Amino acid sequence: MPELHGVVVTHGRLGEALVEAAEEITGVTGALAALSNRGVGPLDLKRKLEEAVGEGPAVVFVDLASGSCGFAANTAARARGSLTVVTGVSLPILIDFLFHRDLPISELSDRLVEKGRANITAVSPNKCDDGARPVSD
């Protein structure tokens, strides 16, 4: 099975920055493309997304589930069954995608959602959940 490619669809230049950082960290290039909603409406964004995805299965990452990016991705996915949409894109999700895009798409999408959830934490100034003491000046 060929490795999947991904398209990151975001507001502004967020997608470009995330793709650049993920490629720099992993050394994997050419597997992700970035699209911005800047200056285009939802239908034009959908057309650009369909062009970027090309033929075959792909994962579309969006920053927000709603709004023009989510609308374009979900509309494209409904029109073509070979697209999987992952919302709430983050650097940990993209890095995991780059290292595991040889997995079946259903397994990969579950893995990516879990990776995103696992990387959301909060550390208060006086408490660390891992037992470590906070660093002080």
> Domain-by-domain residue ranges, the chain?
5-118
d(CA 79, CA 90): 25
Q: How confident is the model at residue 42 (pLDDT cuts 50, 70, 90)?
A: confident
d(CA 55, CA 132): 48
What backbone phi and psi angles, to 5 degrees, belong to 133? -85, 145
Residue 64 has pLDDT above 60, yes or no: yes
Domain 5-118 CATH class label: alpha beta
pLDDT tens, residue by residue, 72-126? 999 999 988 889 999 999 999 999 999 999 999 999 999 999 999 999 988 877 7
